[in-house]
Amino acid sequence: MEHLLIQQSLDQYKIIAECNEKIEKAIHSRDNESVFSLCAILNELQEGVKENDNAILALIRKHQELKKSTQMQELLALMQKIQEWNRRMASHIKGIMAVQRNEMQKLKKGNTVLQGYLPKIDQTGRRISVSN
């Protein structure tokens, strides 16, 4: 039973790791639509693994020897890999967001400047009608 639960969790974390790799590729290729859809999938996967994580924690509290099993060691190594990926990509994504925020501010400022150049309606065409 315990080994089955750990194996199920291990399989789920492998899928999460694959999803992370797809997100990283999409970020580097600037495919924003794929990033958004993959992030939604990643959130679902993470929600699905929570139950197993809680069950595994309860098992480890009861059976300390499970910490030393090869499956558990593999699971912990995979979790650490995913955690490192999250740290690395979080800083990369923060940089992208800072650039996007800066571009949005420039666009808003440009839009505000352009609003000042709009002609007033009552002056449009006035000289043409006066000169005729």
For 62-85, what is each residue's pLDDT tens digit? 888 888 888 889 999 999 999 999
Please report the DSSP string for 84-120 in residue order. Answer: HHHHHHHHHHHHHHHHHHHHHHHHHHHHHHHHTTPPP
Closest CA to 56 of 32, 78, 39, 38: 78
Query: Is the pLDDT at 105 greater than 70, yes or no?
Result: yes
Q: Which residue has the higher pLDDT, 60 or 80?
A: 80
Please indicate, yes or no, whether the overall pTM of this predicted structure exceeds 0.85. Answer: no
pLDDT at position 77 is 94
How far from the centroid of its chain's Cα atoms is residue 78's Cα?
19
